[in-house]
Amino acid sequence: MNLTELSLRQMRSALDKKEISSAELTQSYLDNIKKTDAKIESYVTVCEEAAMEQANAAQERINANEVSPLTGIPLAIKDNICTEGVRTTCASRMLEDFIPPYNATVMEKLNNENAVMLGKTSMDEFAMGSTTQTAYEKKTKNPYDLEKVPGGSSGGSAAAVSAMLAPAALGSDTGGSIRQPSSFCGVTGLKPTYARVSRYGLIAFASSLDQIGPIARSAEDCGYLLNRVSGFDPHDGTSMHMAVPDFTAKCGQGVKGLKIALPKEFFEDGATEFVRKTVLSAAEKLKAMGAELVECSMPALKYAVPAYFLISSAEAASNLARFDGIKYGHRSEKGSTYGELIMNSRSEGFGREVKRRIMLGNYALSSGYYDAYYGKACALRQEIREEYNKIFETADVILTPTAPRTAFGINENITDPKMIYYSDICTVTVNIASLPAISTTCGYDESGMPVGMSIIGKMWDEETIIGAADAFEKTFTRIPAKGVC
């Protein structure tokens, strides 16, 4: 039995039947990390000793038949989710030595289940990027080709799952940061409905867009993990006070009768011909399985990237104002006055991309420009929501490419902000409209790099998109990452 190839449900069954122990399962992943992560650099921090202690404690619960769905199962956690006593850096020099005194709510939920934390995964600095190359410490590589980016900002989480260095992971998604790296790394990633999962303890990028979600090797595993981290949290004023359904309820039910919309703009604006054909071919497979394809249009897509970057940068400028090197964060050794100290601390602590977005956000919020930029972006947000509502009048879900192209080279246009920003064109509207979406692999290009497709659902309807992705995955054979074989 290859322990690192088991699904989460298979792990649960094997643990409960005492066919394996949590320590054996955890050690198998730690061994993989020791063997290959020096090449991939998916982890910022590996919690080897603590993970084995957690595994042994979980095994005591299993032996006493006091089991929750995640008891004894190892997971990886993105490094912008606060973990008490464990370094949480946001992949930034600003927080390189920050050790949170508390847990994020999602971590409390996992700890209450006696899950095992393997470590903290790398990311773009403060989740601002689509490559994981803006990270201060570990610039993660794509497990399918170590010369290519894993996507971002949750590139470390996606790469770890892809390379068998974790069975599943938590990431965060502000404009595609779960789905795009999942597409590039050939795994499945789910961005839940905004307010489905508590953001308490998630170090904020853009508070109206951020959402924590799962990355795994299947849609069912994503739903299985989402079941355990969702729910109302009094610490998060935006979290929804509603019952948590079983997000895997529609797995195995197929797609017969499901109406799938195909907005033409997603297949025209920047998508390569290969990506377009691959995703449309996947749509035809779903049609052959009994789904109905519905043509539609989303004219506002052409404004989505500018609207997203204005909204997210404005919120980032406000959220990151707290990092001044005084209370916490990197403090410069230079500066003879209070103002100089803050200026130098922020100049040294933040990387180029973070500085760019802070400046853009402050400009958009400044007197005389607020209405012209931020105000218009908020108006576009409402227009995008209305266009989605119109599409959902005639369809159950929407199918699009996850990214307009497959993973690109680490040195390929990596310094061109416009090129990087427009790689999010297929994902940002979901965050703007607060909708759920899941990305899963639907093909491979001529060099063997994965192609991802996204299934977008109505608010609070994660079960349908997980079920649809599961149905496709059952007909599709994934190719393991060759870069670590």
Domain harbouring 43, CATH code? 3.90.1300.10
Catalytic annotation, pick one of 21, 177, 182, 183: 177
Catalytic annotation, pick one of 28, 122, 130, 153: 153
Q: Is residue 172 part of a domain?
A: yes
Q: Is residue 59 part of a domain?
A: yes
Amino acid present at 123: M
423 is catalytic: no
Q: Is residue 99 part of a domain?
A: yes
Report yes or no: 442 and 476 within 8 Å, Cβ to Cβ: yes
Task: Single out the residue of 412, 457, 468 nearest to residue 435, CA to CA.
Answer: 457
Catalytic annotation, pick one of 22, 28, 42, 78: 78
Q: Is residue 125 part of a domain?
A: yes
Q: What is the DSSP annotation of 161-203?
A: HHTTS-SEEEEE-SSSTTHHHHHHHT-EEEEPPTTSB--TTBP
Question: How many whole angstroms separate alpha carbon 424 and alpha carbon 269?
Answer: 11
**Predicted local confidence at residue 412, as pLDDT:** 81
- Residuewise pLDDT in 10s, the chain (485 residues): 799 999 999 999 999 999 999 999 999 999 999 999 999 999 999 999 999 999 999 999 999 999 999 999 999 999 999 999 999 999 999 999 999 999 999 999 999 999 999 999 999 999 999 999 999 999 999 999 999 999 999 999 999 999 999 999 999 999 999 999 999 999 999 999 999 999 999 999 999 999 999 999 999 999 999 999 999 999 999 999 999 999 999 999 999 999 999 999 999 867 999 999 999 999 999 999 999 999 999 999 999 999 999 999 999 999 999 999 988 899 999 988 999 999 999 999 999 999 999 999 999 999 888 989 999 999 999 999 999 999 999 999 999 999 999 999 998 866 677 778 888 999 999 999 999 999 999 999 999 999 999 999 999 999 999 999 999 999 999 999 976 65
**Predicted local confidence at residue 195, as pLDDT:** 97
Burial 149-164 (b: 16+ CB within 10 A, else e): bbbbbbbbbbbbbbbb
Question: How many whole angstroms separate alpha carbon 242 and alpha carbon 22?
Answer: 33
Read off the pTM.
0.97
Q: Which helix (H) or strand (E) holds 352?
A: helix 352-365
Question: How many whole angstroms separate alpha carbon 208 and alpha carbon 381?
Answer: 11
- Which residues span the domain enclosing 244? 3-254
**Predicted local confidence at residue 129, as pLDDT:** 94
- Beta bridge partners, 441, equal 452
Burial 110-129 (b: 16+ CB within 10 A, else e): beebbbbbbbbbbbbbbbbb
Q: Is residue 446 part of a domain?
A: no
Residue with tokens 């709510």, as numbered in its chain: 105
Q: How far is CA 11 from CA 19, 165, 416, in A?
A: 10, 15, 43
Q: Is residue 473 part of a domain?
A: no
Please give the tally of structural domains in the chain. Answer: 1
Q: Is residue 482 part of a domain?
A: no
366 is catalytic: no
Query: 366: which DSSP letter?
Result: S
277 is catalytic: no
Question: How many whole angstroms separate alpha carbon 168 and alpha carbon 7?
Answer: 9
317: tokens are 């400028």
315 contact partners, CB below 8 Å, separation of at least 6:
204, 205, 206, 207, 208, 209, 361
Query: 303: which DSSP letter?
Result: G
Question: How many whole angstroms separate alpha carbon 160 and alpha carbon 41?
Answer: 9
Q: Is residue 267 part of a domain?
A: no
